[in-house]
Amino acid sequence: MNPFELTKQLMAIPSVTGTEREIGEFLLEHLSTLGYRVERQKVTPDRFNVLAFAGDGRVMFCTHIDTVPPPTAPVREDGEFLYGRGACDTKGIIAAMLEAGDRLRRDGVTNFGYLFLVGEETDSIGAKLANTLKWNSEYVVVGEPTENHLARAQKGTLMVELSVTGKAAHSGYPERGVSAITGLWNVLVDCQSADWGNDPVLGRGTFNIGVFRGGDAANMIPAHASASMMIRTVEPRAGVEENMRRIVADRATMEIVGASDPQITHVVEGFPTTVVSFGSDVPHLGNMGKRLLIGPGSILDAHTAGEKISKRELMEGVDLYERLVRKLLA
């Protein structure tokens, strides 16, 4: 199966986070048919990571098999692109990795393997559990859409939930109530105007309000309001969290939903590099050796209704993965 056909077949299998079982079973069977030694690592009762080895696994190809919603988008192609949910994030990358592995084995190179993970789009549960295994690998090549550039650094994250409780009242008599929305809004304005750091490599830290919830009706003073936000961090988590708590003070209840520190990743001479602002499983795979982050496709196409991957770039990714493994093993 050529990489384009495999990408389309993978995209046709829905695998929104939490529902990765079917694609996991497909990959286990496909890899077994190709002659790899395959294993499954149970993550939850219905979800598992897929492990496969050509030999001793000094270099591990790694990416995730889950996608964001919706479960499927129309799978199609034209002369230039493949379209569908997961095209670049990361089903095209899976296909590129597998084709690179076939080329390596044809030349007698077998010191590599695969690790396909569940849950990257939410809590990285698959990566965190895989990291507890005993690994003899020296390198892990994590696949994300970086336009085939090796990431030399990745911003960190701090995911926060804020909530405010007010007092409900009739909107005709606002003095009888306390607006939770107004209270939360004031906190968020301060957060947005705060300095979240500036790093010479990573650039500026950024603050985003992703979800805002509050109120019940236009003619009521809202008694409850909450918001979910993400800070893309360029400084260690502890300092960012401390800054956030200082801004919020006692004006809202603050819950840390998830966090990771900024990462400096391994680069190899002769490969173009970049810096990425998106998250990945990289922070959770420290026991697997030196971590590299690279793959075909653009992050700007990921998570969009028109998600796509360039056929040319996908095949360049195959060449890149093959060349990279040879260089790492040399």
Active-site residues, by number, are 120
Residue 161: name the closest of 231, 79, 235, 89 by CA.
231
Burial class of residue 215 in the structure, from the number of CB atoms within 10 Å of its CB (0-12 exposed, 13-18 middle, 19+ buried): middle
In 31-59, which positions are buried (b, 16+ CB within 10 angstroms) versus exposed (e)?
beeeebebeebebeeebbbbbbbbeebbb
CB of 83 within 8 A of CB of 76? yes
Q: CB within 8 A of 299, min separation 6: which ones? A: 88, 89, 144, 145, 146, 276, 278
CB of 116 within 8 A of CB of 265? no
Residue 285 to residues 45, 188, 260, 266, 304, Cα–Cα distance (Å): 22, 33, 12, 13, 27
